Amino acid sequence: MKLQFDATQEYQLDAIKAITDLFKGQPLNKGDFEMEIALPENQLQISSDFVVGNNLVLEEETILKNLQAIQKKNEIEQSKELDGKHFSIEMETGTGKTYVYLRSIHELYKNYGFKKFVIVVPSIAIKEGVVKNLKITQEHFDMLYENPEMDFYLYDPKKRGLLKNFATTKALQVLVINIDSFAKFSEDKKGKNVIYQDSDWGIPIEYIQGVSPIVIVDEPQNMETDIRKKAIENLNPLCTLRYSATHKHHYNLVYKLDPVSAYDLGLVKKIEVDSVLSEDAYNEAFIQIK
């Protein structure tokens, strides 16, 4: 049995457009840049590696104007500043949040040439769900976007070499990683995650940092501690796109589909709370204290 996806859901298209419109003015096919990654001294190669990354040419002032125009259209309070290029999308549970951000990846690639994306998740369960969604939507997106050359990876500390491929390949690349895999980067080598440790081909995290990925944060309310926020910042993101139904902080909110709006659109069922006791029932035990 194959799952069928409806590509015409207006509320999902509105959420996707809210993201793509942030970068209005960014020229197509100007998203690439090459950056040299220095190899360790004992590396047995003649040349260093070059990574292919995202390159944002828009000024922050332009992005802020784009943001304010989106917020005005979506009847959201306008931001006075970019707040570190963090953008929030609020979508009620069960309305296709994962589909929206996966399709946004394809739209950003199609419209602006951005091709390096990192999806950060707070738990193993969500990580498995995202990977499953990448697999089951692949054929759907291939049809919508004319078979783009694309790879997606699940970060595995035992296969760190995949990060080198992620960074040096010119095709659209999506990396899924659990926050706990890169949250520990203290100077104490014993406390570091493997991703920060040197290898015979370099330090893995530097290959992610070198491409300035667009970082998608799934359920960001679970990543608001100082350590986790610093870890995400340490990925050197071009920007972060934060998707949740229950944000703790709305960093530059661009789209909002709250429970009331979702119910009005018929996307979720009405919830009522009923008592197990009948109303006006007077046959219960009676106690009188004298």
pLDDT for 41 equals 43
What is the DSSP-derived secondary structure letter of residue 3? -
Torsion over CA of 133, 181, 253 and 98, rounded to 10 degrees?
0
Average pLDDT (112-126) is 95
Surface-to-core class of residue 265, CB atoms within 10 Å of its CB (0-12 exposed, 13-18 middle, 19+ buried): middle
Q: Rounded to the nearest 5°, which phi and psi values hold at 139?
A: -65, -40
**What would the two tokens of residue 187 be?**
């100077």
pLDDT in tens, 75-92: 999 999 987 899 999 999
pLDDT in tens, 217-230: 999 999 999 999 99
Alpha-carbon gap, residue 228 to 222, rounded angstroms: 9
Comparing 10-19, 32-41, 149-158, which segment has the lowest mean pLDDT?
32-41
Alpha-carbon gap, residue 249 to 189, rounded angstroms: 33
Alpha-carbon gap, residue 237 to 255, rounded angstroms: 21
Comparing 28-32, 126-130, 246-250, 255-259, which segment has the lowest mean pLDDT?
28-32
Alpha-carbon gap, residue 279 to 282, rounded angstroms: 9
Q: Is residue 44 predicted with pLDDT exceeding 50?
A: no
Q: Is residue 141 predicted with pLDDT exceeding 50?
A: yes
Residue 173's contacts (CB-CB under 8 Å, 6 or more residues apart) are: 115, 116, 117, 150, 151, 152, 153, 166
Looking at per-residue confidence, does 60 or 260 come out higher? 60
Q: Provide the whole-model pTM.
A: 0.85
Distance from chain centroid for Cα 267:
23
Residue 203's contacts (CB-CB under 8 Å, 6 or more residues apart) are: 196, 197
Average pLDDT (253-261) is 89
pLDDT for 198 equals 85
Alpha-carbon gap, residue 59 to 26, rounded angstroms: 10
pLDDT for 132 equals 95
Q: Would you list the DSSP string of 7-63? A: TT-HHHHHHHHHHHGGGTTPPTT--EEEEEEPPPTT---SS-EEEEEE---S-HHHH
Contact between 44 and 229 (Cβ < 8 Å) = no
Q: What domains can you pick out in the chain, each with its CATH number?
A: 11-37+50-264 (3.40.50.300)
Q: Rounded to the nearest 5°, which phi and psi values hold at 48?
A: -80, 170
Contact between 94 and 268 (Cβ < 8 Å) = yes
Starting at the earlier edge strand, list the strands of the sheet with 214-218.
150-154, 172-178, 116-121, 214-218, 239-244, 86-91, 253-257
Residue corresponding to tokens 């960001």: 220
Tell me the pLDDT of the chain averaged across its residues: 87
